[in-house]
Structure 1
């Protein structure tokens, strides 16, 4: 992909990608507990009816992989289990309510066995996968440009959960391209919510704790227009080497590199590693206001716009969200304010992931007006905030894409004098 001086991007899109069911897909089944070896069994699993219906609405993938990918996400592949429990359930398992805890294989099995009979759902989770699914749904039809090809790489095991993760993303038109690790166990996050809305989270890394740079990943990166690296990967041992090599390969092939900040504590623990990648490879950085301040090493009272301006001295385009106060897009030491799009908030989880998908969509569609790009991102975020669940729904994505195409046509007729442009990418 060429990064032209006029701020537009020349990108190549090909036909849609490989589809069909794959071995290990467990949608629509119920799972209960684990077997004697502690591996998740296949007998009583329910994956969430609403998400199923949304996936069925998506365009059916073809059997042919594209020659190039518009976006490749490199991140953690974790299956989320979410269920409603009472305080007695937590006490019985010795879990402290409202905490986050890393568990081992046996502890995970004990919790899942205890959930036998409880109502819970599973999803191909993760911040990056939320953004990729939203982007794929925005670009699933050739509106204002060719249909987008979206993929993810990471690490899943050859267990049923790994097959479930890959299949769920594929049904949402996101191809998971990394081969499963033989005899590996896919990582999970168990979210237990009590009636007072407090969430207790149990994380099991499994195979997801290691993402290797192999010839397969090298080939995929060389055929990608935008590489998006999830910040949570900086937490994994030795994965910084994979991130560096992937970013180097992306640069050699002319791709853009985008980094998601992901988490304040992660930035603080791996500050030097973050800056090594951001300063040397990043074309785009996604962060919320707290994460942006952490990257800048700013005090909590510093404003989000100050952080956006500072970071834009090092990165061509910086996206900083500031919750209900709006967001900022920083370029060349300046920042454009994007007001929040009006909505009645239902669930703010996933808002930042949705916003990032809007920025990526705007870049891929060649928009150079920062206000227009940010406004689209804010509308997408507001749509997700106004619903239950973290994923942009198919019908909402199509409406947003059509509205964006209409506004893009109107704006190309008008004069661009006085508008803010992406001239640094």
Structure 2
């Protein structure tokens, strides 16, 4: 076990202080060591002197620091936590849980579904392979506390620039992920300042300089944030940017069904969902197939991406669903597979690939690579190999495409 200093935080020997100021990070070293090597390889992209004139992708989402640890069933029982659920906790509950974890091994990361996709996309586009370097940014809400600095710095070192200014005296949100030996995850979210994402001057200035805006579905859970989402999507459309929406979570969709559809129907060019989320968006029962949900959603959204676990995935265009077989891999950790798949789809779109099946296969390949490792982040070395493979296939394939959308091809958005 190692003790690491978190970007200027004072380290403590106890978890109890973590509930107040997040003062220490303990981990087993494996994934963080890999991340550190990747960070060194990528360098510090965060200098204002290196900011591009335009952003290829801007993600709007919840900025949360993840604390991931392994516990047993008895631990959950003592704290009265229901295994496999996601629960929002307050400051006191977070402190109580972290104190109970005192002495446990855990990892800290700039977490979240959207950040996983953005980091993977930035790594795929970190070299001028098959096209120019892809510039990726994120906007959201973090506090001016040490965890806010940690979050911004970790994304920056992964070539994802966090563009929103920290909220003075704000508390950065956290998610505690407790994994039991049966691989079930119990998630406890403390939202802090992440519970408010405002459409401020900074965000208003960034969106017109963006090619694709990606909105994280978890934002629909936050009160009044639907106004921010609507304004951001409206400005993106006005400035000619594409709008992508991630479905994020079935229960989130069920609670905010009308809000989701207001944004999807008015603004979405791309939607990312797994099979359960797709059915929830369609208000379908579990008996309906993933293909049926894909076809239905594609009547409203130009490009629909629906993953179906080890069974593969579907890309929907104009009422049709194109099946994408899964890429072969030996599954090690399925967490983050959907996030990786989304990054592959975005990469294919940004590289100007028009063939639906090829775009889907890129997504499947990226997902298989992440599933075949421990951890949710696509490694730099793997990203470079994937980008080289995509460039080679694109170069050797036909570049003549029909002008209209068909079963196997999509037109320019």
Cα pair distance change 1:260/1:96, threshold 3 Å: closer
Quote how far apart the aligned CAs of 1:30 are. Answer: 7.3
CA RMSD after TM alignment? 2.2
| 1:42-191 mapped onto 2 (5 Å cutoff) | 42-43=23-24, 45-46=26-27, 48-61=32-45, 63-191=49-177
| 1:22-421 mapped onto 2 (5 Å cutoff) | 25=7, 32-35=14-17, 38-43=19-24, 45-46=26-27, 48-61=32-45, 63-412=49-398, 416=401, 420-421=408-409
Quote how far apart the aligned CAs of 1:238 are. Answer: 0.2
Unaligned runs of 5+ in 2: 1-5
CA separation in 2, counterparts of 1:30 and 1:342? 44
Quote how far apart the aligned CAs of 1:29 are. Answer: 6.9
Quote how far apart the aligned CAs of 1:112 are. Answer: 1.9
Greater RCO, CA 8 A, separation 6+: 1
SS at 1:39 equivalent: helix
CA separation in 2, counterparts of 1:217 and 1:155? 11
CA separation in 2, counterparts of 1:76 and 1:345? 28
Quote how far apart the aligned CAs of 1:135 are. Answer: 0.2
Please say if residues 30 and 44 of structure 1, whose CA atoms lie closer than 8 Å, have aligned partners that are also in contact.
no
Cα pair distance change 1:97/1:332, threshold 3 Å: closer
Quote how far apart the aligned CAs of 1:159 are. Answer: 0.8
Cα pair distance change 1:99/1:339, threshold 3 Å: closer
SS at 1:140 equivalent: coil
Segment of structure 1 superposing worse, 128-137 or 45-54: 45-54
Unaligned runs of 5+ in 1: 1-23
Segment of structure 1 superposing worse, 220-229 or 44-53: 44-53
CA separation in 1, counterparts of 2:93 and 2:342? 35
Please say if residues 32 and 45 of structure 1, whose CA atoms lie closer than 8 Å, have aligned partners that are also in contact.
no
Residue in 1 aligned with 2:3?
none
TM-score w.r.t. length of structure 1: 0.89
Segment of structure 1 superposing worse, 101-110 or 207-216: 101-110
CA separation in 2, counterparts of 1:95 and 1:27? 29
CA separation in 2, counterparts of 1:215 and 1:265? 32
Quote how far apart the aligned CAs of 1:421 are. Answer: 1.8
SS at 2:288 equivalent: coil
CA separation in 1, counterparts of 2:149 and 2:302? 38
Segment of structure 1 superposing worse, 56-65 or 298-307: 56-65
Please say if residues 73 and 128 of structure 1, whose CA atoms lie closer than 8 Å, have aligned partners that are also in contact.
yes
Residue in 2 aligned with 1:8?
none
CA distances 1:367-406 after superposition (whole Å, capped 9, x unpaired): 1111111111111111111111111111000000000000
SS at 1:412 equivalent: coil
Quote how far apart the aligned CAs of 1:80 are. Answer: 0.6
TM-score w.r.t. length of structure 2: 0.91
Quote how far apart the aligned CAs of 1:116 are. Answer: 2.6
CA separation in 2, counterparts of 1:186 and 1:100? 18
Cα pair distance change 1:404/1:85, threshold 3 Å: same
Matched length: 401
CA separation in 1, counterparts of 2:169 and 2:410? 46
Please say if residues 16 and 102 of structure 2, whose CA atoms lie closer than 8 Å, have aligned partners that are also in contact.
no
Cα pair distance change 1:29/1:175, threshold 3 Å: farther
CA separation in 2, counterparts of 1:64 and 1:345? 38
CA distances 1:275-300 after superposition (whole Å, capped 9, x unpaired): 11001100111111111111111121
CA separation in 2, counterparts of 1:91 and 1:305? 40
Cα pair distance change 1:220/1:32, threshold 3 Å: farther
SS at 2:397 equivalent: helix
Please say if residues 312 and 331 of structure 1, whose CA atoms lie closer than 8 Å, have aligned partners that are also in contact.
yes
Quote how far apart the aligned CAs of 1:199 are. Answer: 2.9
Residue in 2 aligned with 1:10?
none
Cα pair distance change 1:380/1:179, threshold 3 Å: same
